[in-house]
Structure 1
Amino acid sequence: MIFYTDTAQRTFSIETLNKNNPTIADSLLTNKLLETKFLEILSAYDHDSNLTPLGKKISQWNSDDITNWSNNLLTQNPSKAVDDNFLPEMMAVIKRANLIDTNNDPRLAQILSILMLLLHQPDKGRLIQVATGEGKSTTSAMLAVVLALRGEKVDIITSSQVLAQRDALERKEFFAMFNLQVEHNTSEEKGKLPRYCYSANVVYGDVSNFQGDLLRDEYKAYQTRGGRPFNSVIIDEVDSMLIDDNSKLVRLASHIAGMEYLETLLAAIWSELGRLDNHLIYSAGQQSHYFIQGAFKYENGELTLFNNENGEESVAYPINDASLFRQEHIEYYIRQIIERKSVFIPEYLQEFAISQIENWSKAAIAAKSMTENKDYVIKDKSGYSVIAPVDYYNTGIIQDKTSWQNGLQQFLQLKHALRLTAESFTTCFISNMEYFLRYGCKIYGMTGTLGSHDAQDLLSSIYPVDLAVVPTYKPKQFVELVGILAHNSEEWLAEISHSIVEETSKNRAVLVICQTISDVYKVKESLLNSGYPSDKIKLYSRNDNDEYLAVGTNIEAGEVIIATNLAGRGTDVKTTKEVEDAGGLHVCLTFLPDNLRVEEQAFGRTSRQGNHGSSQLIIDQSELETKFGSEVNFIDNIADLKNLRDVIEHNKLEKVKTSGADNLKRNDRLFNDFCKFTNELRNSNDNEFKLAQLEELWGIKLKQISEQCKRLEKTSCNSAIEEYAFKELNSFKAEMRVQYFNGYSIMRNPAYLVREGVNKLGEGNRYQQSIDLFDMAINLDAAYSFAGYYNRAYAKISQGYVLSMQSDDDEDEFDASWQVSAYSDLMAAKSQIESVIIPGLVSIQIISNHKPDSELSKQIRNKINLLKEQINYIDSAAKTIENCKSGCITQISDRILLPDLFSSDIPEDEILELNMFGILQLFELDTVEPESSVFDGLLVAVLGVAQIFVGALCIVAGNYQWGVAFITEGLQDLYKSINAIQSGHFSWNNYWTEKGITLAVTLEMMGAENLAGKLGATKVLTKEGIKTVVKEEVKLTTQELVKKAIKESAIKTVVNIGLDYAATGLSKAAVNEFKDEIRDTVNKKISNSLLSQHMVGSLSHIMMVDDFNHNAKGRNAINQGVADILTSKRNIIGEITSKVLTSLSHSNYSTIKAVAYTARAANTAHDVSKLQDFADNFCQSLEGKIRYIESNLPSLADLLYSSSRPIISMAEATEIVKTLERIGAINNNQFCPNAVEIIKL
C-alpha cells in the first residue's frame, strides 16, 4: 500500500501543478484515469500475461519470455497493441525488460510520465516538464517500445549526436527483447541510396541529421529515408529545439563552381577594412572618433600627426558614427572594385556579387569584432583547421557541421589565415518548426524546463500540443544564494574564485558554468593564481574532445569543474557521499542566461533526485551593455536585472509568435513548392547539370525574395508579403520551365556545360555533342572557361583521330585542320590560367599578408602547383602538335587522373575544385600516320591567312585579358575548320607574380588611403609638424566624407594602371619569339608590317584607351576592320582556297601562343605568289584602318584627366605625362616597351 499512497500523493501533485491546464485535469485527473492506469500496470506486473500465459508472473519473466510475448503480439495479435485496455500489460512487460537490461526498476515518475504522454488528446501531442535527474533517457526508450509495438516508426531526437549514439548502442538489447531494431543516423553514411538505419523500428539522432536526410530524400531524390513515414517523434530537451532553435535552419551545402573566383574580392575587402581601422581612433577626451589621413601616433590618449615625405600634413577628420562610417566605406569600396573590374568576376556571378555588397560589408565588420573561444573555435578537421561556431547563448555546443553565410565564414578564415572555402547559396533548407510539424499530433516531448507562460504559450500556438508538468519523485533540497553583481572583469573573477574557495572549504564540490570557452580559461587562470591546486580543477568547455570525462565520474570533495553551458543542460553531475553529507554540489553561474529556462537548466545540475545543493549567480555588469543596452548601467541588483531580461525575452517571443513563425512558414512553403517543381522537372528530364543550374538560380531568386520580404515587413501585412513571395516564385517557375526544356538555355554557369560535355565524351565513339557543349560554355563566359577550352581540345583531337582513321579519302584530300583548332584551344586554356586564374591566387597571398607557412598560403601554393601541372601537360601536348610531320596526325596517348599526379600528400580539396570546373583528367599526345594523309597543299595558304589576321590582333591584345580568334570554315572537300590563333610567345616566368602584385597594389590604392582624400574640407589639425587633437571641429555627414578623393593616390593609381598595361602589352620577348617562329615569306611580310614601331605604338594606344574606358570599342573596331578587309578580298581568297572565308569569332582570352605550324611547301609557285600579293594588300588596308581608329582617340593626358577629375586638373595630368616623357617611359603619347624598367631606374 506504500506504492498506492505514493501514487495518490503523486497524482495530487500532478493535479496541483497542472491546475491551470483543463485538458490534463479533465482527461487524466477528474476521472482518475492516470491513477487507474498506473494501478493496473502494477497489477499486471504481479500476474501472468493474458496474451501469452507462461505460468508465472511477468515480474519473474526472463528475456526469452519477453521475446516470445512480443512475437505473439506482433504476428498474431497486432490490434491488441493499440487497445488502451491492453496498455497496462504492455507497460508491465516493458517495466520488467528495463529491469533486466539496466538492473534498475523504473521509478514512479518515469511510468507516470509515459502515461501522461500516451494518454493525450487525439488531435494533439503532448510536451511534459520532468525534473532534471528523473531519467528522461529511460522514459524515452520505454515510450518508444510502446509506440513501436503499435506499428509506428519512432524517431527519438536527442540534444547531441553523442547522446544519440550512446543511447542507441546501450539500449540495443532492450529493444531486441521485443524483436525491435534500433539504430542511430549519426554515421557519415551519405550516399544516393536509402540509408540502412531508416529501416529500423526506432532511430536515434540529433535533429540536424534527421533534417539533412529529409532534404536528401525529398529534394535530392536520393531515397535516403527509404520511404520511412513520419509516425511519432520523441524529443529530448524540447524547449531548446522548439523555442530557442525554432527558427534554426538546416541546409545542405551546395558547392557552386566558380564561387572560388570571389575569394580575391573577399581578400581585398578584408585587407581594406584592416587599413581603415588602422586609421580610425577614438579620443576619450573629445568623446569622438577620428579618421586620420597620413602618418600618426596615438598613445595614452594623445594623438600626434606627422608630415609625409613631401612635407604635406596629416589630417584628422571627426566621424559622427564610426560604425556607419566603416560600413558605408566598405560598401563603397566593394562597389568601386566591381564597377572598375579591378578583380575578375565571372559574368554569371556579377549580379550575385552586387547583391552581396551590403552583406559582405556587415560580415567583414562582424568578423573583426568576433572572438575566438567565444563566438567560434578553431579546430582540427581531417588535418585542416576549420572555423566552428559555438552556441554559447544556449547549449555551449561547438557546431562543427555549421558554417556562417554571406562571407562571414570566409572573413574569419582570412582573419586567421586558414584555408578558404567557397561561399555557398541557401537553396535547400528546412527549419526546426517545419520539420517537427511533419509529425502532426504525434509529438512527444520532455524537458526539465517548459519555461515562462510566454514560452509555453508560444509552444502551444505553433505546434499541435498541450503541456503538462510531472512532479519530482523526491522533494528538491535546493538553496539559491544571493547573487553578486560585479562592476568589472577583475572584480568578477575575484568573486568567483572567492566563492569556489569558500564552498570547497566545506568539503563540497563546485560546478562553475561560464558563457564562453574563453571565460573558462580566465576563471581557471584566476583560480590558479589564488593558489588553488591544479589537480583539483577539471575543464568541460568543448564537446569535440575528451573533456566530457570531467563529468563522467563522481566528483569529489574539493574538486571544481569549470564548464560552459555544455554542463548546464542534460549533464548528470554525480557526487560522492562525502560531498552530499557536506551540502551537495554548488553551482556557480557566471553569466545571466537569456531566459529563465536556461537559468533553471543550469541550476538543475544540483539537488537532483532529492540530493542537497545550492547555486549562485555571479555576473560581470560591464559585459551586459552589449546585450541589454545602456539601461543596464543603472541597475544595481540581480532581481532587477532578471526582470529586464524577462521583458526582453517576452518581446522576443511575441515577435516570433506574431511574425517570426509566419516568416518561417512562408520560407518553408516556398522551398516545398520549389522542391515539388524540381521533382516535376526531374521526372520529365533528369539532367543533373540542368538541375544544378536551376538550384543555383533558385538560390539567387530566394535571396531576392527574402530581402524584399524583410523590407515589406515594415509596411505590409503578412498576407501581402505572402502574395508577393508566391507571385515571384510562380513567375520564376514559369521562366525556368521554358528554359529547362529548351535545350540548354537555362545555363548561366559554364562549369555545368563543361561537366555535361565531359560526361558525354566518346559516347558511341562520337565527340561532336561534347564539342557543342564546350562551345556553349565558352560563349557563356570565355574569360572563365579554361576547362571548356582544355576539354574541347581533347574532344577535337579524339574526334579528328577517329574520323581520320575512318576516312577513305585520297591522300590529296587529307584534312587535319582539327589539330590547328585543338592547338588554339590548348593555348587559350593556358593563357587563361596564366593571365587570370593564377594572378588572382597570387594577389590573395599578397593582399592577406600572412606567413608562408600558414594554411592559406599552403592552399594557394597547392592550387598554383596543380595549375602548373596542367600547363605542363598543355605545353607537352602543344609541342607534339607543333612537331607533327606532314602526313601524320596526333592522338590521345594517355589520360592521367588528377590524384595520380601525386605520390603522396594529395591535395584533395584543390583537385575537387578543378573537378567541379570539369577538369577531371590531363592528357598526353603522340603522332601516328593514317592510311591516307595529305596534310599540306592548300593548308599553307589558309594558315598564312590565319596568321595574317592573328598577327595583328595578338599585338592589340597585348598580353591582357582579351583576344581574338579568327576561324575559317568551308574549304570544299579539303577543310572542315581552320583556327586563326593569336601569335606571339610570352615569357611567363615572372608574369604571375607581377600580375598578382599589380592587382594587390591597385586594390589597396582604392582603399583607406583613397578614402582619406575623400574626407575633403574638414581639417581639424592643419599646421605643419606635430599636433594634438583640439576641440575645434567641423563635422560632415558620413556620406559626404565617403564621396571625397585623394589626389596623390589617384595619380599613382592611374599611372600604375597605364604602366601595367604597357608592360604587359609590349614585351620584346613576345615579338622576338613570334618572329623566330615565322619561317615562310608570307608571315615575314606581316611581321615586318604590323610589328613596326609605329604600328606597335598605335595598337598600344588603342588598347590603353579601351582599358581606361573599361570597354573594347577600339578592339572591336579593329575586328570589324579585319572582317571588312577579308570580305572585300573574298575573290582573292577564293582563288587560293576555293571557298570564301566568312566566319569570324571573338574570344576573350589573351596571350595565346602563335600557331607553331608553318608552311611546309606550296603546291605551286603560283599559289605562293598569289598569297604574297594578298598579304601585301591586306597589310596596307589594315594599317590604314588602325591609323584611322587611332586618330580619333584621346591622348594619355586626356585619359588621366577624364578618369580622375576633379581630383586632378588637366594641367596636372599634362604635367604627369611630360614627366614620364622626360624619363623616357613615354614617347609620342605611347608607353615604351621597357617603361617599367625605366620607371624603376
Structure 2
Amino acid sequence: MKNPKFNEKFNKIFNLELYQNNPSDYVHSHVDQIISLLLYAWAIANKPQSPKDTQIVALLLFISSESKGLLEQIRTGEGKTLILGLTAAFFALCGYAVDVVSSNRDLAIDGEQKCRTFFELLKLESGHICSENDDINHQSYRPDLSTKQGNIVYGEVGAFQRDILEDEFNNKKIFGIRYKDREKCLIIDEVDNMCLDRARHVLYLSHEIASLKWLETLFINLWAAVLRTEVNNSNEISQNIEDISYFMKKNIENKNIYVSEYLYDYVDYKLKRWIDSAFQGRIMREDDHFVLDIPKADGQNIQKHRTIIVVDKDTGTEQYSTRWSNGLAQFLELKYRRKLSVESLKAVFISNKTFFQRYKTHLYGLTGTLGSENSQSFLADLYNVQFADLPTSRKKSYYRFPSKASFEHEDWLDSIARESIQQVKIRPVLIICENVESTENIWNELIRHGVPPHTIAKYRRDGGRGTDIQVDSSVNKDGGLHVILSYLPDNVRVEEQAFWTYISK
C-alpha cells in the first residue's frame, strides 16, 4: 500500500543517523513520536478501524516493561490481533527479531495476514512458519540485511521449537544470521502453553529406525494379552503389568515371540512402559482424546485414508504433528485397525518451559484469563514476568447462574436439553461440550426432545481461540447469549475462558 504523506513522515524519522546507529535507543527515546506513527499506519492500513484506548494502554505497558517480561489479561473482543500487531511492529522498529506465538497454525496465518499491510507500510518484513513447505517457512526467518529494522515471524509453539532443534542439533542453519547481533523478543497471543499444566510439554525430534519394525509381532502379542486381561479396578493394573511383562519375557526367551537378540536390552527396558500404554489405549475413545480424520495441509487433502489425530481437550485443536510415544500410537492403530507404524526414538527435545525462558526479559503475552494467584506466582517465578489486568473498553453484562450437577448420564443429557429448550424461547443458546462424542450425544438428545434439526448449528471450535460468535444485538434486551458449559474443566483458567470467550459484545 502506497501513501506518499505517510512515507515522507516515515522516511524523515528512519533515515536519521541517530536511528541508523542505534534503532532501539532512538525508538525508546522518541516513544511519543513512534507510537503516533504506529497508530497512523494502522488507521491507514485498516480503515476505518483505529486503536482504542485500552489497546494503546496495552502497548504502552509492554513498552515500559524493561527489567521483566509482562503478561496482560485482556478480555475477549478487545482486539488482541491489533495489540499483537502494534507491539510486534514497535519492537521490530527497535531492531529486534520478533517471534509471535499463536495457539494454532490457522490463527498464526490469519494474524500475520491481517497485519501484513500494516507491517509493509512501516517497511517491516513479516511471514509465518505454518506452510507444509519447510523452504518457504525458513525463508520467513531471513531478514533484509540492508535495513536496521528487525523482521516478524508468526507461528505456533511447536513450529518454533522444531526449527530450534533442527538448527542447533541437526545443523541445518535455518535461522541464518537472524539472531546474530540482534535482541530477540517473543509475543504470545494466549499464555496457556506457559502455565503449569503445559510448561512440562516436550517437543521431540523423532527418528525412525528401520530395525524397530521387527517389534510389530511383539506389539500385536502385547495388545492381545492386555485385551484378554480382566480389570475390575485401577488398583489391579500395576500387578497386571508385572504379570504380562513376565509372561512376555518368557515367550521371548522360548522363541515363541521373535525379537532380534540385539533388541533384547531395549525391549527389557521398554516392556512395562509399552504394557502400561496398551492399558491406556484400551480405555481411550475416539472423539474424546483423538479423532479419526483425514489430515489436511494448506487446505488440501494429502492422503485419502483416515488416521488417528491427537486432540487438545482444552482447546479442541487437532494436533497433526503430535504423536503419542511409548507404543501408545501403535496400540491405538491396532485398536482401530490402522496401518501399524514403526516405534520411533527421541534423541533431542525441548520443553515449553525452556523455549519461553530463552527470551529472558523480552517475553510478552496476552490472555483472557491469567488464572488464580497460585498460577500467577508460578509464572512469575518460572519466567521472571509481571502482570497487568486491563479494563474492558466498554461494560460487559455477564450473569452466572448456579451450577447444576447430575449423577447419571441420562439425567445430565435431559437437564441440558430442558435448559436449552426453555432458554431458546427468548434467546440463542450456546452449549460448550468437552469432546466430539458429547456433542453428538447432546445433539441427539435435543432431537429426541423435539427440537427441529435445522435450528441447531453444530461446529468444532477452531483451536478454541479466535472463534468469533456474532449475536444480533436485538437479543440483548432478552439477556443476550445463554452459555451452557456441559462439563467441569481441569482448572479454573480453562473454566473462565469457556465463558469469557463468548462475552465479546
CA distance in 2, matches of 1:601, 1:321: 35
CA–CA distance in structure 1, aligned partners of residues 259 and 156 of structure 2: 39
Q: Helix, strand or coil for the counterpart of 1:93?
A: helix
Which of 196, 217, 220 matches 2:139?
Answer: 196
Distance of 1:583 and 1:455 partners within structure 2: 33
Aligned residue number for residue 509 of structure 1 = 428
Displacement of 1:81 in angstroms is: 5.4
1:375 equivalent in structure 2: 289
| Structure with the higher fraction of residues in helix conformation | 1
Rate the CA distance shift 1:445–1:194 in 2: closer, same or farther, 3 A: closer
Contact in 1 for aligned 2:92/2:152 (Cα 8 Å): yes
The one-letter code sitting in structure 2 at the alignment partner of 1:359 is R
Q: Deviations over 1:327-385 (max 9, x none)?
A: 22321222123222323323332211110111011011111111111111111232232
Once residues 24 and 385 of structure 2 are traced to their aligned partners in structure 1, the CA distance between those partners, rounded to angstroms, is: 23
Q: Show the counterpart of 1:106.
A: 51
The answer to whether structure 1 residue 119 and structure 2 residue 61 are counterparts is: no
Cα distance in 1 for residues equivalent to 2:396 and 2:196: 26
User: What CA distance in whole angstroms lies between the structure 1 residues aligned with 2:250 and 2:177?
Assistant: 52
- Contact persistence 1:194–1:224 (CA under 8 A): no
Match of 1:477 among 385, 397, 401: 397
Cross-structure match for 2:25: 82
- For 2:205, the equivalent position in structure 1 comes to 252
Instruction: Give the conservation status (yes or no) of the 8 Å contact 1:249–1:430.
Output: yes
Aligned to 1:397: 317
Tell me, yes or no, if the aligned pair for 1:73 and 1:81 is still in contact at 8 Å.
no
Q: Which residue identity lines up with residue 140 of structure 2 in the other structure?
A: C
If the length of structure 1 is used for normalisation, what is the TM-score?
0.38
Equivalent-residue separation in structure 1 for 2:341 and 2:174 (angstroms): 27
On the 8 A contact 1:157/1:207 being kept in 2, the answer is yes
Counterpart position of 1:328: 242
Q: Find the counterpart in structure 2 of residue 207 from structure 1.
A: 157
What secondary structure, in the 3-state scheme, does the structure 2 residue paired with 1:156 have?
strand
- Which amino acid in 2 is paired with 1:115? L
Distance in 2, Cα, partners of 1:240 & 1:480: 27
1: CA distance between counterparts of 2:167 and 2:3?
Answer: 37
For residues 1100-1179 of structure 1, what are the structure 2 equivalents within 5 Å?
A: none
Question: Deviation of residue 62 (structure 1)?
Answer: 7.7
Q: Equivalent of 2:41, from 97, 116, 120? A: 97
User: SS at the partner of 1:258?
Assistant: helix
Once the two structures are TM-superposed, the CA of residue 125 in structure 1 deviates from its matched residue by 1.2
1:875-929 Cα distance to aligned partner (Å, 9 max, x none): xxxxxxxxxxxxxxxxxxxxxxxxxxxxxxxxxxxxxxxxxxxxxxxxxxxxxxx
**Mapping of 1:657-696 within 5 angstroms?**
none
TM-superposed CA distance for 1:172, in Å, is 1.3
Give 1:996-1035 correspondences, 5 Å limit.
none
| Matched AA of 2:363 | I
Query: Partner of 1:446: helix, strand, or coil?
Result: strand
Q: Which amino acid aligns with 1:349?
A: L
User: Shift in Å at residue 160 of structure 1?
Assistant: 0.8
Match of 1:70 among 10, 13, 21: 10
Provide the C-alpha distance between the structure 1 equivalents of 2:5 and 2:96, rounded to a whole number of angstroms. Answer: 23
Alpha-carbon offset, residue 321 of structure 1 = 5.4
Q: Secondary structure at the match of 1:168?
A: helix
Q: Would the aligned equivalents of 2:195 and 2:375 in 1 still touch at CA under 8 Å?
A: no
Taking the TM superposition and a 5 Å limit, the aligned residue runs for 1:335-414 are 335-381=249-295, 382-392=303-313, 394-414=314-334
**Structure 2 matches for 1:148-547, cutoff 5 A?**
148-190=92-134, 195-200=138-143, 201-229=151-179, 231-277=184-230, 322-381=236-295, 382-392=303-313, 394-506=314-426, 508-541=427-460, 543=462
Q: Deviations over 1:1031-1078 (max 9, x none)?
A: xxxxxxxxxxxxxxxxxxxxxxxxxxxxxxxxxxxxxxxxxxxxxxxx
Residue 489 of structure 2 corresponds to: 593
**Identity rate, percent:** 32
Contact 1:396 1:516 in 2 (8 A): yes
Question: Could you say which structure has the larger radius of gyration?
Answer: 1
Letter in 2 for 1:579: V
Please list the CA deviations of residues 439-463 of structure 1 after superposition, one character each: whole Å capped at 9, or x if unmatched. Answer: 1110011111111000000000001
Q: Any idea what SS the aligned residue of 1:606 has? A: coil
**In structure 2, distance between residues paired with 1:351 and 1:148:** 52
Matched residues in 2 for 1:339 and 1:171: separation?
A: 63
AA at the equivalent of 1:93: L
The Cα offsets for residues 133-161 of structure 1, whole Å up to 9 and x where unpaired, read as 11111100011111111111111101110
Q: CA deviation at 1:517?
A: 1.2
Asked if structure 2 preserves the Cα contact closer than 8 Å seen for 1:586 and 1:606, the reply is: no
The answer for the alignment partner of 1:692 in structure 2 is none
**Cα separation, 1, equivalents of 2:401 and 2:2:** 49
8 A contact 1:71–1:178 mirrored in 2 = no
Shift of 1:575: 0.9
- Unaligned residue ranges in structure 1 (runs of 5+): 1-60, 283-288, 290-319, 544-565, 612-1241
Q: 1:194 to 1:168 in 2, by over 3 A?
A: closer
Distance in 2 (alpha carbons) for counterparts of 1:368 and 1:433: 31
Q: C-alpha offsets along residues 373-418 of structure 1, whole Å, 9 cap, x if unaligned?
A: 11111112322322112221x2221212111111110000000110
Closer/same/farther in 2, CA of residues 85 and 347 from structure 1, 3 Å limit: same
Question: AA paired with 2:491?
Answer: N
Contact 1:377 1:387 in 2 (8 A): yes
Per the alignment, do residues 221 and 114 of structure 1 end up closer, same or farther by CA in structure 2, a change over 3 Å counting? same
Return the offset for 1:66: 2.7
Residues 194 and 379 in structure 2, CA contact (< 8 A), matched pair in contact too: no
Match of 1:769 in 2: none
Cα deviation for residue 197 of structure 1 reads 0.8
Tell me what 1:666 maps to: none
Q: Structure 2: where are the runs of 5+ without partners?
A: 144-150, 296-302
Deviations 1:618-656 (A, max 9, x none): xxxxxxxxxxxxxxxxxxxxxxxxxxxxxxxxxxxxxxx
Q: 1:72, CA displacement in angstroms?
A: 3.8
- Which residue type is aligned with residue 229 of structure 2? L
Distance in 1 (alpha carbons) for counterparts of 2:94 and 2:358: 19
Contact 2:2–2:121, Cα closer than 8 Å, also in 1: no
Task: State the distance in 2 between where 1:494 and 1:588 align.
Answer: 13
Which structure is richer in relative contact order (CA contacts within 8 A, separation 6 or more)? Answer: 2
- Give the secondary-structure state (helix, strand or coil) at the position aligned to 2:457: strand
Q: Deviations over 1:773-829 (max 9, x none)?
A: xxxxxxxxxxxxxxxxxxxxxxxxxxxxxxxxxxxxxxxxxxxxxxxxxxxxxxxxx
Contact persistence 1:130–1:447 (CA under 8 A): yes
For residues 25 and 105 of structure 2, what CA distance do their matches in structure 1 show? 31
2:502 is paired with a residue of what secondary structure?
A: coil
Contact 1:247 1:433 in 2 (8 A): yes
Alignment CA distance shift 1:73-1:263 (3 Å)? farther
Give TM-score scaled by structure 2 length. Answer: 0.91
Distance 2:379 2:443 in 1: 39
Amino acid at match of 2:472: T
Between the aligned partners of 2:155 and 2:129, the Cα distance in structure 1 is: 5
Q: Which amino acid aligns with 2:442?
A: V
Deviations 1:425-451 (A, max 9, x none): 121110111111111110011111111
- 1:616-655 matched pairs, under 5 angstroms: none
Is contact 1:573-1:605 (8 Å) kept? no
Report if aligned partners of 1:211, 1:435 keep a CA contact under 8 Å in 2.
Answer: yes
Aligned counterparts of 1:540 and 1:321: Cα–Cα separation in 2: 38
Between the aligned partners of 2:482 and 2:237, the Cα distance in structure 1 is 42
| SS across alignment from 1:387 | strand
Taking the aligned partners of 1:226 and 1:407, their CA distance within structure 2 comes to 37
Counterparts of 1:469 and 1:260 in 2: how far apart (Å)? 53
1:505 Cα offset (Å): 0.5
Is the contact between residue 71 and residue 179 of structure 1 (CA under 8 Å) also seen in structure 2? Answer: no
Specify the alignment match of 1:582 in structure 2.
478
Query: Deviation of residue 542 (structure 1)?
Result: 6.0
Contact 1:70 1:179 in 2 (8 A): no
Further displaced range: 572-581 or 512-521: 572-581
Structure 1 residues 329 and 143, CA gap change in structure 2 (3 angstroms)? same
